[in-house]
Structures are given as C-alpha cells and as structure tokens.
C-alpha cells in the first residue's frame, strides 16, 4: 500500500511550464525567449533576469510585485492530498494543531482559498506557500513550476487554463471590471477541488481570507477514518470537509456542505458567502442566502426576471436605455438569470448560480460564435456595469454578467 501511494505521488501528471508551451500545443503562450504581455494584452519587455528580482538566472520572476522567496529543491517526500478543509474565516491555530496531531494525519498544509467567477465559471483559487504546499501535488519535484508560482504566476491545468485565459495566457482574477490579471506560468495538476494556485502574496492583494483552508494527507490510513475526529474538532463551525477521493470520482463530495467564498471588492462583496449542497446533480443554495439576495421583478423588454437584487437595478437601467435609443427590437428574449447550476459537463458553479448573469437572444448567439448581438446594445450594457461574453477568448455572445456595482439614480 505504501509503495502504491508513493509511486502515484511521484508520478508527474500533465506538467508543462509555459516556457516550453509550444511542445504542449499552446502557441499563444509567452516563452523565455519571447516578450511577456502586460495585463492589457500588449507586449512588454522580456521577463527580468536581474538577480535582485530573480529566484535564479534559470527561472526569472515574471511579476516582481507579487513575488515571494524561491522554493528551491523539494527536500520532503511527496504526499497525496486526501482531505480538503475550508471555512469562511481563518482556521484557528488551536484547530489546525489539533487536526495535525490526530492519529492518521501524516501531513497537513494550511493556505488561503477563495472562489472567483471567471468568464461565467466559478473557480477555486488557492494562495499558498510554494515551498511547502508543493509536496501535496504530483508536480512537487518540478522546481521550475514552483519557482514560477513563487515569481507571481499561476499554476493550473491545461484544459482550464486555455478556457479562461486570453491569447497571451493572462487570466483576470475575478468578475470585477478592475480585477487584477495574472499570467499562467505552468500547467500542472493540483489537489482535487483546487483550480488555480498562486503564491500567498497574491492572496494578500486579493484580500482573501487568510489561512481558511488546509489539505490533509492520511498516508496508509483511510481518509474516512479521520473525517469524524476532524468534525469533532471543528464542532459546529461553518467549515466544509471534503473527501478528495470522492471529488476525484464524482467531481464533488456528495456528503459535504459546500461553500463558495467569492473575493472581489464589488461583485464578490455583493454575493457574500454562498453555501450550497448538491442533491441529484442539482445545486441547492441555503434558503437564507436566496431570501436575502434573490428577487423577481419586472424589467423592460424581458418582463419578469429573477436575479440577484444588486443586478436588477443595473439591468433595468440598461434595458431602459436600450428602449430610449430606439433599439427595443434588438432585445427580445432571455434564457434566464438566476439559475443555481454547474457549468455543463463540470462541477464548477456558473455565475448564474448567484443571479449575477443573464443570457439574451440565445438562439443566434451560441457559444464559440461571433453571434448577432447588436453592438450598440453591448455598449449600453457595458456602460451600466456589465461584462460581455462576446469579448472572451472562447466567446459566449448571449451572456452578460455584472462586473461593476454602480449607484443608479
């Protein structure tokens, strides 16, 4: 059993730094010999090789403002992350130490975790200490990957990275219009339940809840045997415990109370803490969240719609201007606003689960197409604080989502 687990932990699954992205089929990624791109998408000078900002001459820092100390070679053994614990607030020192001391807990690592909407897909973001968190990943021995995370870049899977990044491999970290943008530095598998990994300095910049999560390795012990004592330590705290073998098998732990903790000054703050369960594949938010946040109201052109209360005011203002400018015939149908669901074929929440997005004129505006959405209508929606899916790398021209909370008078 020990040999099997260690062999699995040592296997590097889909590891590809974007310095060699051409070998992985990503022609749009920056390489060592090419200029990097700034968040606006324009080319800038090559990554710094100044010793004052570089972990080593071999692995230069891409983002000095978000760089931490280089991790160096991994000295400890690799572990398999068996359990993910996370909360809406920091895990107390006493709680962490008691969990680490449990019989059956071989290793554990505390970090920060948040949920961020990116192009209608709510992903989990982990802000970690690269030198120690890496041992819980299959890429832990790959120094370049973790040097790039230390240098301010993102590690994620190739499939997700290509879906949510622009043509320069940059990702906007949140739905807010002014959300910061980070570069994908490496494709590498992460523990189940974690989509993007950055260093802990990014966590500070994004105002993530500090130390609200931990991964636990149980070694040769059954993870299920450790769940009950962890629950006893946590008590009635608002904490989720996910068994990652269930996540690997089913995409989620069907026994867990799940929580999305959106970050961001504008939209994320409006959403607040989103607790939910999954029953028969359906997302069931806590009734208290729905009561506090979701409203059904009349708006021009579309009639009665059900959305987040913050979004409704801006949606009504945008549609009113569409009518006033003689464009009423350009908006005729909605495929829905508040719809608690996962993205099709995944277990990632849609931004529709928060009621912060609306689909308009769906018949002729399918995903991956240019669509037929009137561009003046698009500009009106942008004026009233909406982002448009037609601007994404993988387009969704029917989709408008709130990216800025405005005061409408």
pLDDT in tens, 363-382: 999 999 999 999 999 999 99
Is residue 122's pLDDT more than 60? yes
Its pTM stands at 0.79
Radius of gyration of the chain (CA): 22
Q: Using pLDDT thresholds of 50, 70 and 90, give the confidence band for residue 246.
A: low
Residue-level pLDDT at 4 = 32
| pLDDT at position 138 over 90 | yes
Please tell me the predicted confidence (pLDDT) of residue 238.
73
- Going by pLDDT thresholds of 50, 70 and 90, the confidence category of residue 110 is very high
Residue pLDDT, tens place only, 333-365: 999 999 998 887 777 888 899 999 999 999 999
Residue 286's Cβ-count burial label (10 Å; 0-12, 13-18, 19+) is middle
Please determine, for residue 74, whether its predicted confidence score (pLDDT) is greater than 60: yes
Q: In Å, what is the CA distance from 223 to each residue of 80, 135, 219, 247, 254?
A: 11, 18, 9, 13, 15
Rounded to whole angstroms, how far apart are CA atoms 83 and 324? 55
| Mean pLDDT on 3-27 | 38
Q: For the chain, what's the residue count? A: 409
Residue 249 has pLDDT above 50, yes or no: yes
**Amino acid 186: pLDDT:** 95
More confident residue, 86 or 262: 86
Would you say residue 107 has pLDDT above 60? yes
DSSP 161: H
Ranked by mean pLDDT, which of 26-35, 58-67, 267-276, 359-368 comes out on top? 359-368
pLDDT of amino acid 213? 95
Q: What is the pLDDT of residue 112?
A: 96
Residue 43 confidence (pLDDT): 28
Which pLDDT does position 409 carry in this prediction? 76
| DSSP sequence for 86-153 | EESSPPPHHHHHHHHTSTT--EEEEEEEEEEEETTEEEEEEEE-HHHHGGGSTTTT-HHHHHHHHTT-
pLDDT over 60 at 17, yes or no: no
In angstroms, the CA 80 to CA 101 distance is 18
More confident residue, 317 or 260: 317
Tell me which of 50-64, 207-221, 337-351 is least confident.
Answer: 50-64
Q: What pLDDT score does 45 carry?
A: 27
Is 70 exceeded by the pLDDT of residue 257?
no
pLDDT of residue 289: 92
The CATH number of domain 293-402 is 3.30.1380.10? yes
- The domain locations on the chain are 2-265, 293-402
**Residue 28: band (very low, low, confident or very high) from pLDDT cuts 50, 70, 90:** very low
Looking at 93-97, 107-111, 233-237, 385-389, which range is the least confident one?
233-237
Mean pLDDT of 139-153: 96
Nearest in space to 308 (alpha carbons), one of 262, 354, 277, 276 = 354
Mean pLDDT, the chain, integer: 83
Q: Is the pLDDT of residue 29 over 90?
A: no
Across 55-68, average pLDDT: 80
Q: What's the confidence (pLDDT) of residue 11?
A: 34
Quote the percentage of the chain above a pLDDT of 90: 58
pLDDT at 393 over 50: yes
Query: Higher pLDDT residue, 280 or 333?
Result: 333
């Amino acid at each position: 059993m020990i040999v099997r687990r260690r062999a699995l932990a040592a296997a590097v699954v889909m590891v590809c730094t974007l310095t060699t992205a051409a070998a992985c089929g990503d022609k749009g990624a920056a390489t060592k010999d090419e200029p990097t791109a700034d968040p606006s998408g324009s080319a800038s000078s090559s990554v710094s090789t100044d010793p004052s900002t570089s972990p080593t001459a071999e692995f230069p820092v891409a983002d000095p403002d978000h760089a931490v100390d280089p991790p160096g070679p991994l000295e400890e053994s690799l572990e398999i992350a068996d359990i993910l614990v996370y909360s809406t607030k920091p895990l107390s020192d006493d709680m962490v130490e008691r969990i680490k001391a449990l019989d059956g807990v071989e290793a554990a690592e505390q970090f920060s975790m948040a949920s961020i909407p990116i192009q209608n897909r709510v992903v989990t973001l982990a802000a970690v200490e690269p030198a120690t968190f890496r041992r819980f990943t299959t890429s832990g021995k790959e120094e370049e990957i973790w040097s790039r995370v230390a240098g301010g870049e993102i590690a994620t899977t190739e499939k997700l990275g290509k879906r949510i990044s622009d043509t320069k491999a940059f990702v906007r970290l949140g739905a807010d219009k002014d959300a910061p943008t980070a570069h994908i530095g490496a494709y590498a598998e992460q523990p189940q339940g974690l989509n993007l990994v950055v260093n802990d300095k990014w966590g500070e910049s994004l105002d993530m809840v500090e130390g609200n999560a931990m991964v636990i390795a149980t070694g040769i012990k059954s993870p299920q045997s450790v769940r009950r004592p962890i629950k006893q330590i946590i008590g009635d705290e608002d904490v989720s415990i996910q068994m990652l073998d269930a996540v690997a098998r089913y995409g989620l732990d069907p026994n867990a109370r799940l929580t999305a903790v959106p970050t961001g000054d504008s939209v994320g703050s409006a959403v607040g803490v989103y607790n939910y369960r999954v029953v028969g594949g359906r997302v069931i938010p806590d009734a208290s969240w729905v009561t506090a946040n979701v409203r059904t109201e009349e708006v021009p052109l579309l009639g009665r719609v059900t959305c987040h209360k913050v979004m409704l005011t801006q949606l009504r203002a945008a549609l009113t201007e569409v009518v006033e400018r003689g464009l009423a015939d350009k908006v005729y149908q909605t495929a829905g606003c508040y719809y608690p669901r996962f993205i099709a074929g995944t277990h990632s929440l849609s931004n529709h689960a928060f009621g912060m997005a609306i689909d308009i004129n769906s018949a002729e505006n399918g995903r991956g197409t240019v669509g037929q959405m009137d561009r003046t209508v698009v500009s009106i929606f942008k004026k009233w604080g909406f982002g448009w899916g037609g601007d994404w790398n993988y387009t969704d021209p029917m989709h408008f989502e709130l990216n800025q909370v405005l005061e409408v008078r």
